[in-house]
Amino acid sequence: MKTIIYIIQKEFKQIFRNKGMLPIIFVLPLLQLVILSNAATFEVQHIKFGYVDNDHSSTSRALVEKFSTSTYFNVLTDFPSESKASAAMLQGDVDVLLEIPRYFERDLQKEKHNNIGVTINAIDGAAAGVENVYVTQIVQRFNRNIIIDLLQPSDQLIQPAIIDTIPLFWYNQTLNYKTFMVPGILVLLVTMITLFLSGMNIVREKEIGTLEQINVTPIKKSQFIIGKLFPFWILGLGLLTIGLIIAKLIFNVPMIGSLLLMYFYTSIYILVVLGIGLFISNFTDTQQQAMFIAWFFMVIFILMSGLFTPIESMPKWAQILTEFNPIKYFVEVMRMVMLKGSGLIDILPQLSKTLLYALIMNGLAVWSYRKTN
């Protein structure tokens, strides 16, 4: 036990003596959480909006006014023709183009029905889908307001049937996207820092030659690995603490669930990350190699974790692969505990899989580590 404590003390001194590692530990997490939480959003605002009004009636002007008063659209100009409007969209000056047909008001009064054309720049498919929802909602609200005004005197006795929805938003009442993203970015922060630091630190021992010196000492392999990785386990929990404080003070993210449960799960999850870091370091000789391999797997894990895109939207084969992704379980648990107040029973499936992952990865890492006495 004393041997492990001495190794841990040495590691902490070595970590805080390394000037290149300190910014990674203390500065990078702050930048990641603050910047990425504001930048990584699917909310679409300041949409460049143009329209072609072929009717020039009070009804068409009222419809355009609905878009002008929306906080999502920036109404740019009234194009005189469809060709000029299409040219503007081709040049990227317009994102959404509304075309109001001729006799729009007259046909609406007579037929009680009409069509308008909406053209959306769909190079970014996700943004185009959101923009289409915004347009649809504005048109639907316009329909409810205008239908009474267009009724003929003979129709006044017949009241149109209107169905209104009353939404109730659970877990994120203000629909703040940062509330959804911050727990996921916090997962990214803890994972990246602990993985890179643990892998680079062990490989650094190879580069400077101290690992060979330790290998010929009576220190047991288990003692060396525990003493080597334990400081990064502590740092990972420290990063979680810093991230939770920032999430509450800056982003006001609700923390409904148990903090103790979050720390308990994170402590097991960090073992998975440390096992992966040790496994990578056993097959690399330089810090650059370790960083490249770790980043290669991190990109795959992050993109297939459900952090930015729903797993349900992925192909079936990709959904199967996500079952082997530890980051997926951490993202799910953080959002469940922080936002929904889930308990131990609720996260038990993710917890059991993470624990199994930790045992497998650390077993492989210890098995692949070679120590010669």
Tokens of 8: 């841990």
Residue 339 CA, distance from chain mean position: 15
Cα–Cα distance, 22 to 286 (Å, whole number) = 20
For residue 302, give the 3-state DSSP assignment: helix
Q: Per residue in 182-225, pLDDT tens?
A: 888 889 889 988 888 887 777 877 777 766 666 666 677 777 77
CATH topology of domain 47-155: abc type-2 transporter like fold (3.40.1710)
Residue 320 φ/ψ region, left for φ over 0, alpha for ψ in the -120 to 50 degree band, beta for the rest: alpha
Query: Residue 290 burial by CB count (10 A; 0-12/13-18/19+): exposed, middle or buried?
Result: buried
Where in the chain are the domains? 2-40+176-368, 47-155
Output the pLDDT for position 373.
47
Side-chain-side CA neighbours of residue 336 (13 Å): 19
**pLDDT tens figures, 47-78:** 889 899 888 888 888 888 888 888 888 887 78
What are the C-alpha distances in Å from 55 to residues 58, 213, 220, 293? Answer: 9, 85, 85, 61
What average pLDDT is seen over the chain?
Answer: 82
User: Among 336, 189, 175, 350, which residue's Cα sits nearest to residue 256?
Assistant: 336
How do 96-100 and 73-78 pair as beta strands? unpaired
In this structure, the dihedral spanned by the alpha carbons of residues 316, 318, 322 and 323, taken in order and rounded to 10 degrees, is 40
Tens of pLDDT, residue by residue over 10-46, are 777 777 776 666 676 767 777 777 777 776 666 677 8
